[in-house]
Amino acid sequence: MYKANVTYTWRRASFNFNTTYTSRRAMTYTNDQYIPAYWTSNINASYDFGKILFARGMKLSIGVTNLFNGDYIGGVYGAASVSGDDNANLFVAAPREFFGTIAAQF
């Protein structure tokens, strides 16, 4: 697994981009079947508004996970013990998702 993370802050604004490469993973104990390698990237931005009325530290954040909407296996439950066993459960990772938050201290 390789990761890269870039963060830039200017005054009250902050920007973050991160990407992860996960190499292929063995799916069986005999290492004869593999889950393919994949890349995934995320992007986030935030702005700290400071004090607004009675709230201090008012902050708005927005972001996107799985930025390039890649299809990949996000999780494995169990593993096949020998070639031909089919008891491993593979879970497809979430598609591109958008999120936003507003935080404040009172």
Residue 56 has what pLDDT? 87
Q: How many CA atoms lie within 13 A of 38 on its CB side?
A: 17
Whole-angstrom Cα distance, residue 64 to residue 44? 6
Residue 100 has what pLDDT? 98
Q: In what order do the strands lie in the sheet with 13-22?
A: 2-10, 13-22, 38-52, 55-65, 97-105
pLDDT digit string, tens, across residues 27-70: 877 788 888 999 999 999 999 998 888 888 899 999 999 999 99
Residue 4 has what pLDDT? 97
DSSP structure string for 25-86:
EE-BTTS-SEEPPEEEEEEEEEEEEEEETTEEEEEEEEEEESTT----EEEEES-BSSTT--
pLDDT digit string, tens, across residues 73-105: 988 776 555 555 566 778 899 999 999 999 998
Check if the beta carbon of residue 67 is closer than 8 Å to that of residue 43: yes
Residue 29 has what pLDDT? 75
Which range marks the domain in which residue 37 is found? 2-105
Domain count for the chain, please give it: 1
Residue 82 has what pLDDT? 52
pTM: 0.78
